[in-house]
Chains A and B, each alone.
Chain A
Amino acid sequence: MFQQTLRKLNTSKFASKQNSKKQQAGDQQSAPKPLVDPFLDRIFLQASEIETSAKKSCCFSTKAGSFEKSESQRPSEVDSIRLQEILRKNHALNGNAFGDKGSSALEIPAGEIITEQKLEQEKIGLHETETIKLLEIQSTATPKDLLLPDANIESAATAVAAEHVVDMKSKKMVEAKTQTMNLQVKQKSTMTTPLLSRDVECEATVWDLFDATMDQGETSRKEELNPKFISLPWCETGRRESQGEEQKAPQLGKSAMVIERFLASNLYKSQQAMYFGQSAKIDDKKRTTRFQYELCPLWTYHSAATKNKSVLNLAWNTTNSNILAVAYGQFLLSEDKQGGLVCCWSTKNLTQPERCYPFEHSVSALAFSLNSQLLVVGLQDGKIIVLDVSHAEKKAIVQASLKNGGHVGPVWVLKSVQWTHGEAIVSAGEDGQLLIWSLNLSRIGRFFARIPISLQKKEKVGAADMMDEVPIQEVFSILDFSVSNGADPLILVATKEGYLLEVEMELQIQRVVRAHLGPIYKVQVSPFCWQLALTAGADGKVLLWARSKKDAPILSLAVSASAVVCAEWSPSFSTIVACASGTFLSIWDLARKTHEPVTKVNIGAALTSLVFSPDGMNVLVGDRTGKIHVHSLQDMPYKPLMPVEALLKAIPGLVLL
């Protein structure tokens, strides 16, 4: 109805049948009930504000004030008197609610009938009426500060409101928002034990990020998530640690090993420096160098495990020149069988062997394979075992014994050679066999040092007449062999009976030479000249053999009265030979003098084996008490520029083919 009123007002045309009709409608509605509805009154009056205070305004369409014009049928006529009466009535009933009595916007002189023409003549003015409150609902909320019990609360409504405010925290009040799901939430609290909290700091550095990218998908991330934060500090840290320790024990072991090396090198710093050739003994008297060929004792490799055993063999690792494998066992076959040992010593840890492998039998031969992880070991009972040195526990990879065509007696020498297709291991033993094995110990070739009598008779050299009288075939035990690689390759085989055999590569004996009066302990081809070889025999002599001279040595070195157990060419100096006999270690320089050694040192114990360090500046000798003495060669002359020429110059009888 209000809307209708407005529309009507806006048209401001009175003379319309519609208006009148509406008036009539309004009349009919309200005529029987002239009740005062305060609400509607207010609307009515407000409408009067908006509208032009047209005198004719038959537009009051409220029920109460609706014009009961009823009587006059003329559309545009309003009984002004009647209207005013109504208004006054309303005033009286509603009292203050209306405000002033001058609220009616209509000023219609009494008794006058307003016509349309009159309206047009008249001026229409707009007045603003007083503000009339149409609707007022008292607020029942009171500000908080007014919550004083003795506050002057006038209306009952506010008293109730105060009650409610006090009760705010009770469940009667619910805060709700419109247009949202109002979930009824209830807060409840329970008693708990105090929560443990611990402050932990964490720093993410550049390399933490790097680690994280590297470890994506790796198991180490799982270790990171390991309960370092979850575990409580007071519960069994010991147990957890012990479990963790087992996991990290290999790392710890490795670090411990390196630290041991540090410790040892701290004690033996100067010796190690001398070994590696780092100590420059700059002498003021350098001008008058005398080349004394000094043998300075550096250190000794020994440990509790090697105490009662003799050093039988020494072998350097093929790739890592700091690792030395040593075979321990019984020197004399008559000694008590105590078992053998293979130790790997390092030049960096002088107090403890890095690897220790025990065996039931004495170890008589060993060699590193060309791929340096494998160590081939020959035992006194004829077994050949391939070991993996990278593990600390003895891990035999392959094993060859008599069953797979091995040796009958002790294996005296093992060598790793380059064969036709790959690498081969050559073993020689007491039974006179020279066997060629592949790396997985399957036999490739075989040579039998069996010498037919006819050959003996033909080629016999020296005073061994006894040989003629024995008309049988003889098998010679092989103590050592050496391969001479050159234009005409040969294998030189040293036998226990004192014969030096020249064997062709097809494993046929070419020649037999009577070399020494006793067993030949060592034969070695010079690393600089393939036509030159040395042999060391039990008769105390070291003989030099050349290809040019068939049946006799070209040079003889009288080393000592006792047997020369070992002799070796220096790998760097073409004319230097080291010999071990009795308890003496002697160095011979063929370029200087051949009637006596240039240096001789008494080690103190019976020597059994000898080896040069790979750079040729140090000599290692093993003795019968299980010790290995390391000596450094100092005050040496310069290496010859042309080693073969130096040899030719040194040995007068040497003629190269």
Chain B
Amino acid sequence: MAAEVEETLKRIQSHKGVFGTIVVNSEGIPIKTTMDNTSTVQYAGLVSQLADKARSVVRDLDPTNDLTFLRVRTKKHEIMLAPDKDYILIVIQNPSD
């Protein structure tokens, strides 16, 4: 990977409150992760489906539109995903407030 992207991902991982970063490729296989294997696989599978569904919602409403980011705020933490044609970047953060 490009060095700059690597650095940015490293910074994200070491950001305050972040407890996981996963990069999933277009086929749903996680290629980079900082979490344990089971959680990674679980997140990768479920989140890919969610991203696809969200994207289909957005595009069915208006085909010229497209999904850029998706943030899911839960009671315990927040899941942020940046879906793209070739990859999905997933970050799970526990905001301290």
Which residues of chain A have a CB within 8 Å of any CB of chain B? Answer: 205-207, 210-211, 228, 237, 241-242, 244-253, 255-260, 262-264, 266-267, 269-270, 351-352, 392
**Nearest chain B CB to A505's CB is how many angstroms away?**
46
Report chain A residues within 8 Å CB of B9.
256
Answer whether A259 and B5 are a contact pair too, CB < 8 Å, given A205-B56, A244-B86.
no
Report chain B residues within 8 Å CB of A245.
1, 31, 87
**B80 & A352 in contact (Cβ 8 Å cutoff):** no
Is there a chain A Cβ closer than 8 Å to B8's Cβ?
yes
**A205 & B89 in contact (Cβ 8 Å cutoff):** no
Contact flags B13-51 to A (C-beta < 8 A → 1, else 0): 001111000010111010100000000000000000000
Count residues of chain B with CB under 8 A from any CB of chain A.
38
**A207 & B86 in contact (Cβ 8 Å cutoff):** no
Answer whether A255 and B95 are a contact pair too, CB < 8 Å, given A207-B63, A260-B8.
no
- Within B34-79, the residues touching A (CB, 8 Å) are 56, 59-60, 63-64, 69, 71, 78
**B2 & A255 in contact (Cβ 8 Å cutoff):** no
**B82 & A259 in contact (Cβ 8 Å cutoff):** yes
**A270 & B1 in contact (Cβ 8 Å cutoff):** no
**Nearest chain B CB to A408's CB is how many angstroms away?**
37
Cβ-closest chain A residue relative to B84: A251
Cβ-closest chain A residue relative to B5: A253
**A263 & B87 in contact (Cβ 8 Å cutoff):** no
**A267 & B17 in contact (Cβ 8 Å cutoff):** yes
Report chain B residues within 8 Å CB of A251.
84, 86-87
Cβ-closest chain A residue relative to B88: A255
Answer whether A263 and B63 are a contact pair too, CB < 8 Å, given A248-B86, A258-B82, A392-B4.
no
Answer whether A207 and B71 are a contact pair too, CB < 8 Å, given A249-B5, A255-B84.
no
Q: Which of A211, A242, A260 contacts B12 (CB 8 A)?
A: A260
**B12 & A237 in contact (Cβ 8 Å cutoff):** no
**Nearest chain A CB to B15's CB is how many angstroms away?**
5
14 new A-B contacts, CB < 8 A, other than A210-B64, A245-B1, are A207-B63, A228-B26, A241-B31, A244-B25, A248-B84, A249-B2, A253-B4, A256-B8, A256-B9, A260-B11, A262-B80, A263-B12, A266-B93, A352-B11
The 8 tightest CB contacts between A and B, nearest first, are: A255-B82, A210-B63, A207-B59, A249-B2, A266-B95, A207-B63, A253-B5, A248-B86
**B12 & A256 in contact (Cβ 8 Å cutoff):** yes
Answer whether A270 and B80 are a contact pair too, CB < 8 Å, given A205-B60, A246-B2, A253-B5.
no
Report chain A residues within 8 Å CB of B86.
244, 247-248, 251
Inter-chain contact total with CB atoms closer than 8 Å? 102
Answer whether A255 and B71 are a contact pair too, CB < 8 Å, given A207-B63, A262-B80.
no
Q: Which of A206, A253, A260 contacts B63 (CB 8 A)?
A: A206
Report chain A residues within 8 Å CB of B84.
248, 251-252, 255
**B89 & A241 in contact (Cβ 8 Å cutoff):** no
A250 to B59, CA, bound (A): 24
**B25 & A241 in contact (Cβ 8 Å cutoff):** yes
Report chain B residues within 8 Å CB of A244.
25, 86
**B60 & A267 in contact (Cβ 8 Å cutoff):** no
**B71 & A253 in contact (Cβ 8 Å cutoff):** no
Report chain B residues within 8 Å CB of A266.
17, 78, 93, 95, 97
**Nearest chain A CB to B84's CB is how many angstroms away?**
6
Cβ-closest chain A residue relative to B86: A248
A256 to B16, CA, bound (A): 15
A247 to B5, CA, bound (A): 12
Q: Which of A205, A256, A257 contacts B59 (CB 8 A)?
A: A205
Report chain B residues within 8 Å CB of A392.
4
Cβ-closest chain A residue relative to B9: A256
Report chain A residues within 8 Å CB of B12.
256, 259-260, 263
A241 to B28, CA, bound (A): 12
**B16 & A258 in contact (Cβ 8 Å cutoff):** no
A262 to B72, CA, bound (A): 12
A245 to B32, CA, bound (A): 11
**A260 & B2 in contact (Cβ 8 Å cutoff):** no
**Nearest chain B CB to A306's CB is how many angstroms away?**
15
A205 to B25, CA, bound (A): 22
Report chain A residues within 8 Å CB of B59.
205-207, 210
Q: Which of A249, A257, A263 contacts B17 (CB 8 A)?
A: A263
Report chain A residues within 8 Å CB of B78.
266
A241 to B27, CA, bound (A): 11
**Nearest chain B CB to A242's CB is how many angstroms away?**
8
A74 to B84, CA, bound (A): 113
**Nearest chain A CB to B45's CB is how many angstroms away?**
16
A54 to B34, CA, bound (A): 115
Q: Which of B56, B71, B85, B95 contacts A267 (CB 8 A)?
A: B95
Answer whether A270 and B8 are a contact pair too, CB < 8 Å, given A248-B86, A351-B15.
no
**A206 & B95 in contact (Cβ 8 Å cutoff):** no
Cβ-closest chain B residue relative to A257: B8
A136 to B63, CA, bound (A): 78
**B87 & A252 in contact (Cβ 8 Å cutoff):** yes
A250 to B85, CA, bound (A): 13
A250 to B56, CA, bound (A): 24
Report chain A residues within 8 Å CB of B18.
263
**A249 & B15 in contact (Cβ 8 Å cutoff):** no
Report chain A residues within 8 Å CB of B17.
263, 266-267
Cβ-closest chain B residue relative to A262: B80
Report chain A residues within 8 Å CB of B2.
246, 249-250, 253
Answer whether A248 and B60 are a contact pair too, CB < 8 Å, given A237-B29, A253-B5.
no
Answer whether A252 and B89 are a contact pair too, CB < 8 Å, given A206-B60, A262-B80.
yes
Report chain A residues within 8 Å CB of B85.
248
**A263 & B91 in contact (Cβ 8 Å cutoff):** yes
**Nearest chain A CB to B8's CB is how many angstroms away?**
4
**Nearest chain B CB to A92's CB is how many angstroms away?**
95
**A270 & B89 in contact (Cβ 8 Å cutoff):** no
